[in-house]
Chains A and B, each alone.
Chain A
Amino acid sequence: MHLYDLLLNNREPLKILFTIIIGFACFMIVLRTDKLFRLSYHQGIRYFRNAFFFYGLAFILRYLFGIFSNSLMKFVFEFFLIMAGFSLFYSLIWKKFEIPGKESYSSLINWRIFLFYILSIILVILDYIWETYCFMFGSQIVLFAYASIISYINYNKNKGKEFTGLYFIVMLLNFIVWAANFVVAKFLEWYRPIVIGVYAIDIIIFILLLYTVLSLTKGKN
């Protein structure tokens, strides 16, 4: 219980640390993947990069807006978090909807992404009206369940590749985090020890992703 008390008594510095760790991980991932995208014009890399751009914005803006207004912070945080989930998921399935080599000029302003913007705003508004987070949680649980299945299939198809298994684990952890968020919000009234556990898994997910991206993009072969 000492650790729990220590964490609870240092909430503000820990919030800043959490934001810095995730913000830094996202920044590095965006930087590395942007370089790869500008060379390859590969749409999967483009949406993967965008996902971490949105994750970074979500966590940094949550902290910054949280200082001034809780309702604005909730709106902005949810919107970018849902957009990040959609982008990450779409990076796995984009080939079903787009022709390689015939990409849109902008990956942030095109009709497919516009659909994601609309869906995200609808989910945020629904959460706002019902004063809940459940619409966001529900959407992300469905997305990451599907993403976990796709990653597992990729892992089975490409067993020789060193990080396919790790990416499947990351997707599964994401699914677990969103499911835990839903349970703790809906049935346990934000029971703090579980919330802290969820934050810890969040950090593990982003560090694992950063490690994978850095390992795959380091040096020349």
Chain B
Amino acid sequence: MAKKRERLEVIKDILSAIRSTRNIKPTRLLYASNLSPQMFKEYINELMDKGFIKIDINEEDKKTFSLTKKGNEFLEEYRIIERFIGNFGL
């Protein structure tokens, strides 16, 4: 059985998916995140509240997600954060 992803790992996966596609539509991001719609909504709300991602509306009035500066920084520092938590057992 696959190991349950830690919260930070889920966040990293969502942000990586957004970064790799630059502007990603909500449905595509839901599939890429591998979460239930309910969980996906919770994570997206949290990431927007904390300023990691933002919603853009394009010319066709469609919503897409993109990374903020803070979201990019999180991805850059993710390995360090993971190592820190793992080594101290936090």
Contact = CB atoms under 8 A, between A and B. Distances in A.
A64 to B, nearest CB: 30
Given A100-B7, A158-B89, A41 B80 contact: no
B87 A167 contact: yes
A91 interface: yes
25 contacts: A36-B84, A39-B70, A39-B77, A39-B81, A40-B74, A42-B85, A44-B85, A44-B88, A45-B81, A45-B84, A94-B90, A100-B7, A101-B46, A154-B89, A158-B86, A158-B89, A162-B87, A164-B86, A164-B87, A167-B89, A213-B84, A216-B87, A220-B79, A220-B80, A221-B80
Interface string A78-120: 0000000000000110100000110000000000000000000
Q: Count chain B CB atoms within 10 A of each CB in A91, A101, A164 and give the residue with the most.
A: A101
What size tier do the contact residues of chain B reach? 20 to 34
Interface string A184-204: 000000000000000000000
Given A36-B81, A161-B87, A162-B87, 7 more contacts: A39-B74, A39-B81, A42-B90, A167-B88, A216-B83, A217-B80, A220-B79
Interface in B20-72: 42, 46, 50, 70
Contacts of A100: 7
Contacts of B89: 92, 150-151, 154, 158, 164, 167
Nearest to A170: B88
B46 A216 contact: no
B66 to A, nearest CB: 18
Interface string A121-151: 0000000000000000000000000000011
Contacts of B86: 158, 161, 164
Contacts of A217: 80, 84
Given A220-B77, A220-B80, A40 B87 contact: no
Contact of A48 (B79, B83, B88): B88
A48 B74 contact: no
B7 to A, nearest CB: 4
Contacts of A158: 86-87, 89
Which of B8, B70, B83, B89: most chain A CB closer than 10 A? B89
A36 B87 contact: no
Nearest to B52: A39
B17 to A, nearest CB: 18
Nearest to A32: B84
A18 interface: no
Nearest to A37: B81
